[in-house]
Amino acid sequence: MRKLLLASAVALAAPAAFAEGLPGVTDGPGPNLVIEVADAAGTSKGTIVLDLNAEKAPKHVERIVSLAKSGAYDGVVFHRVIGGFMAQTGDVQYGKKDGDTSRAGMGGSELPDLKAEFSDVPFGAGTVGMARSQNPDSANSQFFIDLAPADFLNGQYTVVGQLVDGWDVLNAIKKGDEAANGLVDKPDVMVKVTVQE
């Protein structure tokens, strides 16, 4: 089953512009996920840093850290990117750049799905959430990073962190076709994903 944000949410998202650095956002206790981003040809676009919130979503953060440390996220594409809304990645099963990515967004990892850890943390610009199917307890490996505030997601998806560096890089990730629910042709890729404790 495809792990994604509900399609109806797309219509509610409105474009917004934010300055580099996201004023008011600070780096918390971590761990931090450091993602090197490149285009489909391998040209570096820069690095984004996500501060993971283990206090609010301990099981989901543990999963992301485990997958990153194992190298599972290396080479995974940003398969679904909608301007003014979010960039989605993390399908370690079907989203590897050098494989057939036609099913990217439908998979997860070999690990079991996770029970939702909804919290009071709102979805703002740069918020990191776990993608899932219509079943709230179906998040696995995929995650998304908001490009703009998305209050309509509050309490509906597990928040796992916040972007603390690389806002310009995030916004430069190749956008997909909105008519195809953000599907990206020749998508950008997470070349290397590491964890800073």
Quick: pLDDT tens for 32-51.
999 999 999 999 999 999 99
- pLDDT for 17 equals 37
Query: What pLDDT, in 10s, does the model give residues 104-157?
Result: 999 999 999 999 999 999 999 999 999 999 999 999 999 999 999 999 999 999
Read off the pTM.
Answer: 0.89
Contacts for 61-68: CB closer than 8 Å, 24+ residues apart: 61/31, 61/160, 61/161, 63/109, 63/111, 63/114, 63/140, 63/141, 64/33, 64/141, 64/143, 64/160, 65/31, 65/33, 65/195, 66/111, 67/92, 67/109, 67/141, 68/33, 68/193, 68/194, 68/195
